[in-house]
Homo-oligomer: A and B are copies of this chain.
Amino acid sequence: MALRTREQYIEDLSKMNDNLYCNGEKLNRLDPKLEGCINVLAKSYELAADPKNAELFLAKSHLTGETINRFCHIHQSTEDLHKKQDMTRFYCNQIGTCCRRCMGTDAANAVNAVSYEAQKRPGAKTTYYDNFLKWLKNFQDKDLIASCAQTDVKGDRLKRPSEQVDPDQYVHVVEEREDGIVVSGAKLHISEAIISDEIIVMPTRSLEKGEEAYAVSFAIPSDSPGIKQIVHIRDLRKREHFEKGFTPGYSDSYIIFDNTFIPWDRVFLCGETDLGGILALLFSLFHRHSYSGCKPATLDYTIGLASLAAEINGIKKAKHVKKILSDLIMIGELGYAAGYTASDLGKPEVSIGGKSIPFGPGGYIPNVIYANVGRCLSGENVWHEMEMLCDLAGGFPATFPYEKDIVNPETKEYMEKYLKRNQDISVEDQIKFWLQFADFCVSSSGATTSYGAYHGGGSPIMEQIAITSQYNIKARENIARQLAGMSIPEKK
């Protein structure tokens, strides 16, 4: 059994090289400002260590037969896909935010399939798949965390990578050496790359002939001196008097590659433009499937906040409250159902031009249409959810007093009197509730989360493109043609 503990994870963080910059200074990985972020990821070790969660959080490695953390697993069946979805929902419900450890899992599953196909290609520059398996074995054995660095700066967005004035707007190979490759560029918005062990790098989009330098995927240790990470942290104001049940944090970084060297045995793709595009899509697909776990969890939490806000405000029986609760439940459970169906119809195949073909060494891939319709629904409702919470809460969370005014003897009595809207609930619970509500809805951190929920895993417009390009629209045209008495075009 290869399972790391929370303590071991933190100890490992303490040993890492210094390559982080934040707010004008170097940042240590055990800096108190990162406590919340570490809490989030460390929770995955705590949960896996609890025998009650074994079914969801542990898996059997297809490489070694060992028991491993499911976040290090390559999905071997539809059941694995179901469990990944349910583990994600459960995890997120413990922390009240997105779990962040999914990125590495999704990236590993995508690289698993693509590096396998790449290695079969005549003229492959290295044994891509063997490299990956070697990396994966270590990853599983040590129960490591990976982040995924996909998003490039992109420069002028209507231009292709090769058309940019500054070629570094997309990460690319600047030199191929005997012992490895040299890359430059930057990846941005990379969640928790600073407290991950490994970073998996991959292309952000489809690529064409002539863009071979951009078709590159590899793994690099998070603390490699070859990179600099410029960090942004979103912490909620620390509670002093009214403690939360769980204190999360959030970091992301710009990862700077400036002639960074990567040895060949860490390279998973190098120059295969078509596979580069497939890798980008496959990671997105696995990650959109992850959303079918985390977004229903966000809705679980949101439903709880909505229902309690209505109760504290004394309006729980009002008709429009039921409508709001029903809308929230629908968003969450339709998203879950889409993921459930995507899991159940999963196969070791990819859909190319509307046809499903075998792909990779046998790892299971969720159904592309259902994974996309689910995530798109989630993305399109982010702000509507915020509106519904705002509707139920009224202005209270926006102007809620400071903790210190609630405990200041000169104002305490008034505060407790006027913060007690509902006579049947203790004022302390009501205060904690609104502080938490404000953290979720009326904070910089909350707004950042909304941006993540809208754009993360692909903005709604990206799912719309995936949906219309993968769906068999011709078959539906033929239904309409048949019913209208029109001619039916021959299949080509």
Whether the pair A334, B373 counts as a contact (CB closer than 8 A) is yes
**Chain B, Cβ-Cβ closest to A456:** B395
Q: Smallest distance from the beta carbon of A356 to chain B beta carbons, Å?
A: 16
Tell whether A374 is near chain B: CB-to-CB under 8 Å: yes
Docked pose: A301 CA to B475 CA in angstroms = 10
B residues in contact with A121, CB < 8 Å: none
Interface bin, chain A: 35 or more
Binary flags per residue of A5-46, CB closer than 8 Å to B gives 1, else 0: 000000000000000011111000000000000000000000
Of the candidates B188, B245, B456, the one whose C-beta lies within 8 Å of that of A482 is B245
Tell whether A370 is near chain B: CB-to-CB under 8 Å: yes
CB contact list, A453-482 vs B, under 8 A: 454-456, 459-461, 463-465, 467-468, 471, 473, 475-482
CB contact list, A387-430 vs B, under 8 A: 387, 390-391, 394-395, 397-402, 404-405, 407-408, 410-411, 414-415, 417-418, 420-423, 426, 429
At the interface, is chain A mostly helix, strand, loop or mixed? helix
**Chain B, Cβ-Cβ closest to A465:** B322
Whether the pair A478, B304 counts as a contact (CB closer than 8 A) is yes
Tell whether A182 is near chain B: CB-to-CB under 8 Å: no
B residues in contact with A475, CB < 8 Å: 300
A402-B24 contact, Cβ under 8 Å, with A186-B414, A395-B455: yes
Whether the pair A455, B390 counts as a contact (CB closer than 8 A) is yes
Whether the pair A398, B334 counts as a contact (CB closer than 8 A) is no
B residues in contact with A423, CB < 8 Å: 155-156, 165
Q: Smallest distance from the beta carbon of A34 to chain B beta carbons, Å?
A: 15
Of the candidates B93, B256, B326, the one whose C-beta lies within 8 Å of that of A467 is B326
Whether the pair B382, A387 counts as a contact (CB closer than 8 A) is yes
Of the candidates B326, B341, B404, the one whose C-beta lies within 8 Å of that of A464 is B326
Tell whether A2 is near chain B: CB-to-CB under 8 Å: no
Q: Smallest distance from the beta carbon of A135 to chain B beta carbons, Å?
A: 27
Q: Smallest distance from the beta carbon of A233 to chain B beta carbons, Å?
A: 9
Q: Smallest distance from the beta carbon of A307 to chain B beta carbons, Å?
A: 5
Whether the pair A399, B341 counts as a contact (CB closer than 8 A) is no
B residues in contact with A477, CB < 8 Å: 304, 307-308
A476-B301 contact, Cβ under 8 Å, with A154-B421, A432-B485, A483-B246: yes
A487-B443 contact, Cβ under 8 Å, with A308-B477, A308-B480, A330-B467: no
Whether the pair A330, B373 counts as a contact (CB closer than 8 A) is yes
Whether the pair B485, A93 counts as a contact (CB closer than 8 A) is no
Binary flags per residue of A360-380, CB closer than 8 Å to B gives 1, else 0: 000000000110011011000
Q: Smallest distance from the beta carbon of A308 to chain B beta carbons, Å?
A: 5
A480-B301 contact, Cβ under 8 Å, with A252-B399, A401-B230: yes
Binary flags per residue of A425-446, CB closer than 8 Å to B gives 1, else 0: 0100100110111000111101
Interface on A for B, CB 8 Å cutoff? 21-25, 93, 95-96, 151, 153-159, 165-166, 168, 186, 188-189, 228, 230, 232, 242-246, 252, 254, 256, 258, 300-301, 303-305, 307-308, 313-315, 317-320, 322-323, 325-326, 329-330, 333-334, 336-338, 340-342, 344, 369-370, 373-374, 376-377, 382-384, 386-387, 390-391, 394-395, 397-402, 404-405, 407-408, 410-411, 414-415, 417-418, 420-423, 426, 429, 432-433, 435-437, 441-444, 446-448, 450-452, 454-456, 459-461, 463-465, 467-468, 471, 473, 475-487
- Apart from A21-B411, A93-B479, what are 18 other A-B pairs with CB-CB below 8 Å? A153-B421, A156-B421, A189-B399, A228-B411, A232-B400, A322-B468, A325-B473, A326-B467, A329-B468, A337-B374, A340-B340, A340-B344, A384-B387, A386-B386, A432-B485, A443-B444, A446-B447, A447-B447
Q: Which 9 A-B pairs have the closest CB atoms?
A: A24-B404, A304-B480, A398-B451, A436-B484, A326-B464, A383-B387, A304-B476, A337-B341, A96-B483
